[in-house]
Amino acid sequence: MEETETDSSVLNNGAGQTTDGCGLSDLFLRRRKNSDDDNSKIEAETGWQWQPAGPNGKNVDEKSADHLLADNVEGDSVDVQVHILSEYEKCPQYSYNMKHLRRGKMTIVSNRDFLESSGMAEFTRFGTEVDVGRLKTAFYQLGFECVVYENQTCAQMLNIFITASNDADTDVDCMAFAILSHGEENGMIYGIDDAIPLDSLLSPLKHGANMDKFAGKPKLIFVQACRGTQIDEGIDVYDSTDGCEKTGKCYRIPIEADFLYTYCTAPGYYAFRSTQSGSIFIRCLCDLLQRLWRSLDLLQILTRVNSEVAFHFQSAISENHPDYMALNKRKQMPCIVSTLTKDVYFLPKPKKVTTV
């Protein structure tokens, strides 16, 4: 049995410790006082479970959920490589150049333990190490060099992005970042000491001194953090079957171009994370990337991630809990914000790189 929580603020109630007789089917409400007003922010710690994809679907528990997502294909299928290369070359002017010597770097920032100054010291993000492991495995398979930074202050997080912008390499396909932490409304992300706007963290990727060298290349941002305090109640639905590289010309493009932001939840809503199994969003993201990167472009894969989380995930709470009616079977909807100007195909690299 396991206990899960949301990536926002929670009140200490023995969080992170598996309770006898509780776990996957239990949900705990945690509150903390907001320093700006007298309102309490609600934090839900909940188990997650898999549900049928449609009215004719079968119930799926967490163990057998691996069969929904896990793809045990080892090595690169020649037929699939030919397929993705063919799709890439059909309209090269609408596909990013992914034929550089190296794929690029995946920078993972994972904040688990927080200082008193943050107001979050009681709210350890148990399970984030599982997400980190999955991200490293998935992006290593895609050809990325993976670097992990743990328990970073706001200043340290900002410095990571400044360094990344200064070190921008012209001989890579793209750059990727994953931020795993607590979060709140208005784009606030927690360092271990305080909160900082996500826009401030990403600013060096748009205004950094060397980012002109990386103009026109995809910058991929993945965020596992709450974006508010709303809880998605969900609604019942039923399935229905009737219903190029630069050619010498100079282009001026917006500084906001070529970014892909993938959030674990929609603006204003909670994000769920298991203290033992990690977050449902990172799990689906990594599993589907490993399954589909050889055959689909990135936005198609992320749309399937949205589908998996939307249709196969819901919160679970025991019937004897006082908030059972209000908080049982709640949903989570990942959100994609894209300024990409071309398709992203992860063309196979001739050799793999080493993780750090």
| 242-289 tens-digit pLDDT | 434 444 556 677 888 899 999 999 999 888 887 788 898 999 999 999
Q: 175-180 and 105-110 as β-strands: parallel, antiparallel, unpaired?
A: parallel
Would you please indicate which residues are annotated as catalytic (active-site) residues? Answer: 182, 226
Residue count of the chain: 356
Domains in the chain: ranges and CATH? 79-234+252-310+331-338 (3.40.50.1460)
Looking at residue 59, what is its pLDDT? 41
- List of the chain residues with pLDDT < 70: 1-90, 236-251, 317, 326-327, 351-356
Q: Maximum Cα–Cα distance for the chain, whole Å? A: 68
Write a three-state SS string for 141-171.
Answer: HCCCEEEEEECCCHHHHHHHHHHHHHCCCCC
Run of H or E residues at 190: strand 188-190
